[in-house]
Amino acid sequence: MTELAPRHYPRQISVSRSAPVSHFGGQPVFIGAAALAIIVLGIGSILAWRAYTGTSPELDRLASARQLQARTALASEQLVEKTKGLESTQQESIDQLQVVQDQLTTVRRLLAAQQTDTKKLSEQVTTLTESIDGLRQSFASAQTSDPAPVARRSARVKSKVFRSATRKKGKTQG
């Protein structure tokens, strides 16, 4: 560690009685009276200023506090109203969501029923297609074994169609 050098204190200055400082310091009553007079004059001037301007910081603070309380109460009321409005809006949204969920459930049920019906119809179409194919095959095998009766039948059908068409023309012209 470093050693500190000893400090040298300045010599005390002696004050003589002839100096103005000692003269002023010798009259403690005069100092007290002057301080009291300054304090009384300060308080008096403050009171005179308040009386002249008609305002008081305490009254201003009190008025500001009341205004602040009124604003706070108003803001609280507005917050309560907005909160109630939000609550009602939220409840309406919940109700609408419930309705949409119910509709979605109904649509799902209808879709499932429709899919079931579609499967049944598809199976029926498949069955009919198979039946038609079977009939075609049996008709084709019947035609190959007996072609003459089929030709006679088709000629008879054509002549019947021709006769009925001729009759209709005659009736419309006459």
Q: Are 40 and 48 in contact (CB under 8 A)?
A: no
In a domain, 16, yes or no: no
pTM, two decimal places: 0.37
What is the per-residue pLDDT for 141? 86
In a domain, 152, yes or no: no
14-18, 41-45, 131-135: which range is least confident on average?
Answer: 14-18
Distance of CA 35 to the CA centre of its chain: 68
Question: Tokens 């009384």 label which residue?
Answer: 40
Rounded distance, CA 147 to CA 155, Å?
13
Please give the helix or strand (H or E) that residue 173 lies within, else none: helix 147-173
CA dist 71 → 74, 75, 94 (Å):
5, 6, 34
Tens-digit pLDDT profile for residues 126-148: 999 999 999 999 888 888 876 55
Please give the helix or strand (H or E) that residue 92 lies within, else none: helix 57-145
In a domain, 120, yes or no: yes
Question: pLDDT category, 51, cuts 50, 70, 90?
Answer: confident
**Mean pLDDT of all residues in the chain?**
80
In a domain, 83, yes or no: yes
Q: Tell me the mean pLDDT in the region 90-105.
A: 96
HSE of 14, CA atoms in CB hemisphere, 13 A: 2
Q: Are 85 and 79 in contact (CB under 8 A)?
A: no
Question: Tokens 């301007």 label which residue?
Answer: 53
In a domain, 148, yes or no: no
* Structural domain span for residue 110: 28-143
What is the per-residue pLDDT for 11? 54
Q: Are 22 and 16 in contact (CB under 8 A)?
A: yes
Lookup: tokens for 6: 């000893």
Lookup: tokens for 136: 């075609």
In a domain, 153, yes or no: no
In a domain, 12, yes or no: no
Closest CA to 171 of 158, 157, 163: 163
Instruction: Give the count of domains, the chain.
Output: 1
